[in-house]
Structure 1
Amino acid sequence: MVSPRALAEAARHIRGNDSSAIKELIRELERRMELTGYQSGILLKHEIEGLRVGNYKLLYRNASGSFARVFRGCSVLTGEMIGLKVLRQRYASDPRAVNLFKREGELGRRLKHKNIVPIYEVGSDGGQHYLTMEFVEGGNLKDILKIRGKFTPEEAVKYIIDLAEGLEYALSMGFTHRDLKLSNALLSAQRVAKLVDFGLAGGEASGVADDADRAVEYGTLEKFTGAPDGDPRSDLFFLGVMLYEMVSGQPPYPPTKDINERRQISRYRNIRPITSVCPGLSRPLVDIIDQLLRSNPHERYQSPTELLRDLRKLQPSFSSTTTSSEGLGSTSGPMPAIKSSEGEPSASASTANRTSTILCIEGRATQQDRLREYLSKHGYRVLMLSDTDRALQRLESMAVSGILVTCEALADDVVGRYGQLKKHADRTETPLVLALSAKRADLLPQLPASRYSQVMPQPVTLRDLRDRLETMKAS
């Protein structure tokens, strides 16, 4: 995990050799960025499992389900960042579970398309079973929707086209997805939507009850409408569910974990008309959503290709201009608009800032766009990074005028990562501002401020953040 030289240098600052000294050594290695917060947390629990799988170090846990966990990892051979999906230990000795897991990996290796997250390797190491895949920086549509509230129709249609193209390709290879939902669609930093998790593809979901239950909606829809198992039109119905929620901010039927409720066909037949939830949509988009959500599969779109034809016809109708927004990280609706009283930056301000660079640490594609557009408009050069480790490495080799970071970019280690950034900011006298989301407000007492490092809890606007950076720089 750590080179002998780095370990020796960290150990020089530690006194004693008891258990408290070991804990302090682990914390020192984290401060030196030799360990991530996730890794030090594992070690402080006196555990080893979960630190490395095959030739990969596990850096952070990105997601966790009943069947498997997903990590950001790093190859110990090449240093390449990678995504890893690791089968939970409770299933490691279950042949059916292992076969289902490996089947997902082997299938993923066959699917090579720009809108499908590729699987690179299917492996086992000491009883641990894992898949390696492309690491997509950005996040899944479910998490992004929680932050945004809803997407503009133009954005939603663009991302649904991406996903439909992935489905079209998979169908040409003889596969359907069988588990379409917002959390199984990732949005890259380049704003490309990609399908992930073909674990139930083709309808062969027998094996693990927890995993099979993920597709209970598919089974219910097909059982009561006479559709065959693995019907590609079922994927289109649930793509329609995604589109409905993306443009309206509300699911077409109430979410529930109750399996009996999920097995009621009335749940999928009695969907509220999209016009009652989002009355401002264009008629062509309403018609597309309505046709996708027809319970009778013969009245639905019959293939992704047929759907793509109508979606592409719709695209030119969208305005090429979008309203800029200044809010950051709203969790309850669209971002607040820039106040009209602010106006455009003056020529002198733009000229003064033109040689200034702001380093932004933000992993969500939509927020990256907002930050880049807003700061550029005010005359700054913007260096956008989504990975804190890369940002810290870059800061060692270049000077910037300010650092702006969101707590979402710091994942599960807000306190530790902020501490590392604060140490750099205080040492180099570089203004650092952390935008702290409302749901992480409980961390505020653990995030000390200084002359060059400050925390701004939500709600906060981009102007607030910029003003704070400029005030700190001038003081």
Structure 2
Amino acid sequence: MEFTPRSLTQRVLDLDLASSVDVDRVWTELRSDNVSLEDVKAMLLRKGLLTNFQLDRLLTGERLGYYYGPYKVLYMIGAGTFARVFRAVHRDTGRVVAVKVLRSRHRGDMSQIEQFLREGRMGLQLRHPNIVTIHEIVNDPRAPYLVMEFVEGETLREILKIRKQFAVREGLQVVQDICAGLDFAHQKGISHRDLKLSNVLVHSSGRCKLVDFGLAALADTSSDKAIADCPSARAIDYAALERGTGVRKGDTRSDIYFVGVMMYNVLSGKPALVETRERSQRLNVTRFHDFPSLSEVVKELPESVYTICNKALEFDPEKRYQTPGAMLVDVQSAIKKLDNPEAEKRITQRHEIMVIDEEEAKEGEGKTVMIVESKQELQDILREKLKKRGYRVLIYSDPDRALSKFTPDESVQADCIVFCAPDLGNLALQAFNTFSEQEHTKDIPAIMLVDPKQQHIIRGANTSAKHVLLPMPLKVRELRQALAKLTEKKPAI
């Protein structure tokens, strides 16, 4: 449509984008009708009566999409296959909000409308500093929309494109915010199902907020074809991971895996998962475990950071963090240690180790101890106390991975291996017994730390003079004494 200067300002009035008083002022300043269309456009923009977004729509002849209820659209701030998000302002109060509008191609499909409204209903339950607030759900038959908190900032994806990689302290703060929001939702019985960098908004203050809860929740995962037809790439990723690991749709541990994916990306600047648009490749479950560990990509991060990321990215959901809250505790602990590295590390849970002041010694000099434990705090306390005694300490959270380091063709990886059963349970028992039975490891000392309540593990353990059990809780002195005895070098005869 071809506009004249006067017809353009009349269209502005017709669409209620500016008042007649404001338009009259524009013409008063222009002083004449003998002006160009460009002059009028420049004046409307300079006075803030129109935004570039509104002007572009006007010039293409669009008559709809300037208002949703009382909210006047200013700019489009995001677009996906399912919905568009606009920055908008309430015409009476001036309150700035984000308005999320279902795309027109989905408005004739009741299942898509219900999915969109379901997201809104879920969001109304989630009032938390690390979750974008949904204020209102409007089931307008012409265009259903959600009224949401407007976050002044950018998505984590946009920031990462510029920054490439976060420093460890900043990266952990991002992960902490994500876990805090997920933990709150988990306590309400809600999983996210669409975790990705673009669904984390970073406020100008630095606080991260999650958005788009539940958009992928209704995706059909009944067959490979159905998965291939999922509405978004991340929905396909979730479906492929869950089918490959045998968990039900909506398992919170799937969210945790994708927190690990983001943590890996933020700290390394590189994606853990191969990025591809090819759906058949997304359905290949090997991509969820066939990538280098964070420690291979980024050197010299704190060991606790590697441990957290590795545990979140465990392909086996039983070895992954079981709740966002459990991961949150470890992330907060890692941040505290970065902020106060000299603080005394203590374990306060059921498998507590009693920390006592002891004189420095070098009893472990020249000896290597491998610790197999999934809980970060216990890893840290064992590493610290044994290193003070001169031991070289290797840490693994996965018993199978620890066992794989001992092969018939390679030199011995450790002088003694310590399995911690309170958290690892039967996984520790199986690894301990395998270690004591394999021909190439049966002569290497092993210790298993066991809670006295774990009677089935105590009864099932294959013990010997070189393979012993120690009860929890215990003093570090007891562990040291056992290590000294088991790794004692016998004089040659």
TM range (shorter): 0.5 to 0.7
Residue of structure 1 in register with 2:190 after alignment? 175
Query: Residues 14 and 21 of structure 1 are in contact (CA less than 8 Å); yes or no, is this contact kept in structure 2?
Result: no
- Give 1:132-281 correspondences, 5 Å limit: 132-200=147-215, 203-206=217-220, 209=229, 211=231, 213-281=233-301
Residue of structure 2 in register with 1:314 after alignment? 334
Query: Residues 268 and 297 of structure 2 are in contact (CA less than 8 Å); yes or no, is this contact kept in structure 1?
Result: yes
Change (3 A) 1:302 1:40: same
Change (3 A) 1:216 1:139: same
What is the CA RMSD across the aligned residues, in angstroms?
2.1
Query: Residues 15 and 21 of structure 1 are in contact (CA less than 8 Å); yes or no, is this contact kept in structure 2?
Result: no
Please give the alpha-carbon distance, in whole angstroms, between the structure 1 residues aligned to 2:32 and 2:231: 49
Is the partner of 1:128 in helix, strand or coil?
coil
Please give the alpha-carbon distance, in whole angstroms, between the structure 2 residues aligned to 1:126 and 1:51: 16
Please give the alpha-carbon distance, in whole angstroms, between the structure 2 residues aligned to 1:124 and 1:25: 37
Deviation at residue 88 of structure 1 after TM alignment? 1.1
Change (3 A) 1:60 1:320: farther
What amino acid sits opposite 1:94 in the alignment?
D
What amino acid sits opposite 1:130 in the alignment?
Y
Within the candidate set 66, 85, 92, 1:77 is matched to 92
Deviation at residue 142 of structure 1 after TM alignment? 0.6
What amino acid sits opposite 1:185 in the alignment?
V
Deviation at residue 294 of structure 1 after TM alignment? 0.6
Say if 2:22 is the partner of 1:2.
no
Deviation at residue 213 of structure 1 after TM alignment? 4.8
Within the candidate set 316, 320, 335, 1:300 is matched to 320
Is the partner of 1:121 in helix, strand or coil?
strand
Within the candidate set 100, 105, 108, 1:93 is matched to 108
Residue of structure 2 in register with 1:438 after alignment? none
- Post-superposition CA distance 1:76-122 (Å, at most 9, x none): 02001101111111112221111111111111111111111010111
Please give the alpha-carbon distance, in whole angstroms, between the structure 1 residues aligned to 2:101 and 2:307: 41
Normalising by the residue count of structure 1, what TM-score does the alignment of the two structures yield?
0.64
Query: Residues 73 and 88 of structure 2 are in contact (CA less than 8 Å); yes or no, is this contact kept in structure 1?
Result: yes
Normalising by the residue count of structure 2, what TM-score does the alignment of the two structures yield?
0.61
- Give 1:87-126 correspondences, 5 Å limit: 87-125=102-140
Query: Residues 253 and 317 of structure 2 are in contact (CA less than 8 Å); yes or no, is this contact kept in structure 1?
Result: yes
Unaligned runs of 5+ in 2: 1-16, 221-225, 342-493
Change (3 A) 1:24 1:88: farther
Is the partner of 1:139 in helix, strand or coil?
strand
Query: Residues 81 and 232 of structure 2 are in contact (CA less than 8 Å); yes or no, is this contact kept in structure 1?
Result: no
Please give the alpha-carbon distance, in whole angstroms, between the structure 2 residues aligned to 1:135 and 1:177: 19
Please give the alpha-carbon distance, in whole angstroms, between the structure 2 residues aligned to 1:271 and 1:237: 14
Please give the alpha-carbon distance, in whole angstroms, between the structure 2 residues aligned to 1:290 and 1:5: 63
Deviation at residue 259 of structure 1 after TM alignment? 1.0
What amino acid sits opposite 1:252 in the alignment?
A
Is the partner of 2:154 in helix, strand or coil?
coil
Query: Residues 150 and 248 of structure 1 are in contact (CA less than 8 Å); yes or no, is this contact kept in structure 2?
Result: yes
What amino acid sits opposite 2:314 in the alignment?
R
Change (3 A) 1:15 1:312: same
Residue of structure 2 in register with 1:401 after alignment? none
Query: Residues 66 and 210 of structure 1 are in contact (CA less than 8 Å); yes or no, is this contact kept in structure 2?
Result: no
Please give the alpha-carbon distance, in whole angstroms, between the structure 2 residues aligned to 1:11 and 1:98: 44
Change (3 A) 1:316 1:85: same
Query: Residues 51 and 57 of structure 1 are in contact (CA less than 8 Å); yes or no, is this contact kept in structure 2?
Result: yes
Change (3 A) 1:126 1:294: closer
- Post-superposition CA distance 1:410-455 (Å, at most 9, x none): xxxxxxxxxxxxxxxxxxxxxxxxxxxxxxxxxxxxxxxxxxxxxx
> Larger relative CO (CA 8 A, sep 6+): 1 or 2?
1
Please give the alpha-carbon distance, in whole angstroms, between the structure 2 residues aligned to 1:104 and 1:189: 25
Deviation at residue 23 of structure 1 after TM alignment? 6.2
What amino acid sits opposite 1:227 in the alignment?
V
Deviation at residue 317 of structure 1 after TM alignment? 2.4
Is the partner of 1:256 in helix, strand or coil?
coil
What amino acid sits opposite 1:251 in the alignment?
P
- Post-superposition CA distance 1:302-333 (Å, at most 9, x none): 11111112111111222589xxxxxxxxxxxx
Query: Residues 220 and 263 of structure 1 are in contact (CA less than 8 Å); yes or no, is this contact kept in structure 2?
Result: yes
Residue of structure 2 in register with 1:421 after alignment? none
Please give the alpha-carbon distance, in whole angstroms, between the structure 1 residues aligned to 2:263 and 2:79: 25
Is the partner of 1:227 in helix, strand or coil?
coil
Please give the alpha-carbon distance, in whole angstroms, between the structure 1 residues aligned to 2:136 and 2:145: 8
- Post-superposition CA distance 1:352-392 (Å, at most 9, x none): xxxxxxxxxxxxxxxxxxxxxxxxxxxxxxxxxxxxxxxxx
Query: Residues 87 and 128 of structure 1 are in contact (CA less than 8 Å); yes or no, is this contact kept in structure 2?
Result: yes
Query: Residues 106 and 122 of structure 1 are in contact (CA less than 8 Å); yes or no, is this contact kept in structure 2?
Result: yes
Query: Residues 196 and 234 of structure 2 are in contact (CA less than 8 Å); yes or no, is this contact kept in structure 1?
Result: no
Deviation at residue 127 of structure 1 after TM alignment? 0.6
Please give the alpha-carbon distance, in whole angstroms, between the structure 2 residues aligned to 1:90 and 1:15: 44
Give percent identity, aligned residues only.
37
Change (3 A) 1:314 1:110: same
Is the partner of 2:301 in helix, strand or coil?
coil
- Post-superposition CA distance 1:104-148 (Å, at most 9, x none): 111111111111101011114461121110000111111011111
Residue of structure 2 in register with 1:453 after alignment? none
Is the partner of 2:147 in helix, strand or coil?
strand
Deviation at residue 5 of structure 1 after TM alignment? 0.6
Residue of structure 1 in register with 2:448 after alignment? none
Between the two proteins, the alignment pairs up a number of residues equal to: 318
Please give the alpha-carbon distance, in whole angstroms, between the structure 1 residues aligned to 2:139 and 2:58: 22
